[in-house]
Amino acid sequence: MRRKRRPERWIPAGRYHSNQRVVRHAASIFLAALVFGAVVWMFLPAWSQTASGFQSEESVRELRVEVHRRFPHDPTAYTQGLILFEGKLLESTGRYGQSDLRRLDPATGTVEQRVGISPAFFGEGIARVEDRLIMLTYKAQRAFALGIEQFDQLETFRYRGEGWGLCNDGRRLIMSNGSSRLTFRDLQSFEEIGGVDVTLRGVPQMQLNELECVGDTVYANVYQRDIILRIDLESGDVTEYIDASGLLTREESRGVDVLNGIAYDPDRDRFYITGKLWPTMFEVTFEE
């Protein structure tokens, strides 16, 4: 028996066309939303980057070095630490078998006192704590406390990792280890009591080297770059980016190593800067 063909569902012509329009309309809205979503997805990172970059650029000052005076620096000194104390520069130097502590006259650059450390240690940064100097070593994970007058060894502290730069902000020691992190240490026990990660416009700043504490900030040489960064110790934000390139003449540059060594004179608001094996030291300010 033949099945009766079911009558086709009757759709009024007008309604059919109207349904088709609704479908087309919905498809257009969907497509538009898709395109809009894709555009937002593509450009959102750039927009947010621009927004944060704009904010950060305002808070990072780019400065240059104004040289007020230049004087001789021992070109055999592999400078690792530099501070000013009672009108004299105290300098520590590195390399195995050559590391020592020196007292220099900043008027002439003359080395007035020099005491070597054991050839087993590679000297690094120094900081003053009252009448003692704390000196880091590169890989031995030991810091020495030395008398500030005679440089006689008084005490040894142990720590983990490498030792690079050191300074005393009046409350604690600030230490660098070649990474972007600054470690805070107790002034007496040398125990780790905190730290901060250093960033410039959100980007970690590696290889922070010699340090100089000035108020709530620290100035840091960046290893292998002619750059000094001023860092806010609370946030780790770089607030000043100092271009210290081009200080040495072409003749002076022969055989030298990297910029390293920064000391602050609070009475005259001036800095002393030099480098490893540099024949010259500079008395400077950082200017716009």
Separation between Cα atoms, residue 229 and residue 78, nearest integer Å: 21
Question: Which of 162/212 has CB closer to Ca ion?
Answer: 212
Min dist CB 201 to Ca ion, Å, is 25
Stretch that binds Ca ion, among 75-83, 116-124, 172-180, 251-259 (CB under 5 A): 75-83
Helices vs. strands in the chain: H and E counts, helices first: 1, 22
Min dist CB 264 to Ca ion, Å, is 8
Min dist CB 170 to Ca ion, Å, is 14
Question: Which of 133/200 has CB closer to Ca ion?
Answer: 133
Question: Which of 82/242 has CB closer to Ca ion?
Answer: 82
Exposure string for 246-255, b = 16+ CB within 10 A, e = fewer: ebbeeebeee
Question: Which of 212/283 has CB closer to Ca ion?
Answer: 212
Report which of 159, 235, 229 is spatially closest to residue 195, judged by C-alpha positions. 235
Q: Does the footprint of Ca ion cover residue 124 (CB under 5 A)?
A: no
Neighbours of 171 (CB within 10 A): 13
- Site residues for Ca ion, 201-220, by CB under 5 A, read 212
3-class state of residue 5 by DSSP: coil
Torsion of CA 15, 17, 19, 22, to 10 degrees: -130
Min dist CB 58 to Ca ion, Å, is 29
Which neighbouring-strand residues pair with 138? Answer: none
Which neighbouring-strand residues pair with 232? Answer: 217
Stretch that binds Ca ion, among 1-9, 78-86, 109-117, 179-187 (CB under 5 A): 78-86
Stretch that binds Ca ion, among 76-84, 139-147, 149-157, 168-176 (CB under 5 A): 76-84
Are β-strands 61-72 and 238-243 bridged in parallel, bridged antiparallel, or unpaired? parallel
Question: Which of 50/91 has CB closer to Ca ion?
Answer: 91
- Residue nearest to Ca ion according to CB distances in the complex: 212
Separation between Cα atoms, residue 49 and residue 47, nearest integer Å: 5
Min dist CB 212 to Ca ion, Å, is 4
Site map 81..110 versus Ca ion, x via CB under 5 A: -x----------------------------
Question: Which of 74/169 has CB closer to Ca ion?
Answer: 169
Min dist CB 44 to Ca ion, Å, is 43
Q: How many chain residues interact with Ca ion (CB under 5 A)?
A: 2
Min dist CB 125 to Ca ion, Å, is 7
The CA-based angle 245-249-252, given to 5 degrees, is 110
- What region, left, alpha or beta, does residue 71 occupy, with left being phi > 0 and alpha being psi -120 to 50 degrees? beta
Binding site for Ca ion (CB under 5 A): 82, 212
